[in-house]
A = this chain, B = another copy of it.
Amino acid sequence: MITKKAKYGLKAMFYLAQTDALTYISIQEISNKEHIPKRFLEHILADLKKSHLLKSKIGTHGGYRLALSPDKISIGEIIRTLDGLLEPESCLKQEGAEICEDCQHVAQCNVKNILNHLLTTTEYVLNNTSLVDANKKSLTSM
């Protein structure tokens, strides 16, 4: 399950992807159009800016816009930014050979093996789907 934070973030990003790429859109507008709590959306967009997926402008006619062209922004980056790592289990973190509390023998850990495989697959799907790809019918046959 992705969190509501990621879901709201995705909706906001899709909304921005639909608009003229150079226009700044206010939090208020996104909140209204996509039915996302405004004060919550503030944090979400701020996080996406920190990850360099959005640019912002303060003041009248300010707001947010995509930092990159929509086809260069992957769904994976958005979810990773808002929900953290895509790993299905904490012991899969980058450190690699690291041993987690309860599984002593990393190499032979069945749980780790299967979850690692799931992670690879999930990353493949999410990293290779951009804001533009996501609404294509071809997605079903990817």
Residues of A that sit less than 8 Å from B by CB: 1-2, 7, 10-11, 14, 34-36, 75, 87-90, 101-103, 108, 110-111, 113-115, 117-118, 121-122, 125-126, 129, 131, 134-135, 139-140, 142
Assembled-state Cα–Cα distance A11/B142 (Å): 32
Q: Is the CB of A7 within 8 A of B118?
A: no
Q: Is the CB of A111 within 8 A of B7?
A: yes
Q: Is the CB of B139 within 8 A of A89?
A: no
Q: Is the CB of A89 within 8 A of B2?
A: yes
Q: Is the CB of B129 within 8 A of A125?
A: no
Q: Is the CB of A102 within 8 A of B2?
A: no
Contacts of A126 in B (CB 8 A): 114, 118
Please pick, from B1, B89, B135, the residue contacting A88 in the complex, using a CB distance under 8 A. Answer: B1
Known: A110-B135, A113-B135. 9 other contacts (CB 8 A): A1-B89, A10-B111, A14-B110, A35-B102, A114-B129, A118-B122, A118-B126, A121-B122, A122-B122
Residue of B nearest to A126 (CB): B118
Could you jot down 14 A-B contacts, CB within 8 Å? A2-B89, A7-B89, A11-B102, A14-B111, A34-B102, A35-B102, A110-B131, A110-B135, A113-B135, A114-B129, A114-B134, A117-B125, A117-B142, A121-B121
Q: Is the CB of B102 within 8 A of A36?
A: yes
Residue of B nearest to A83 (CB): B1
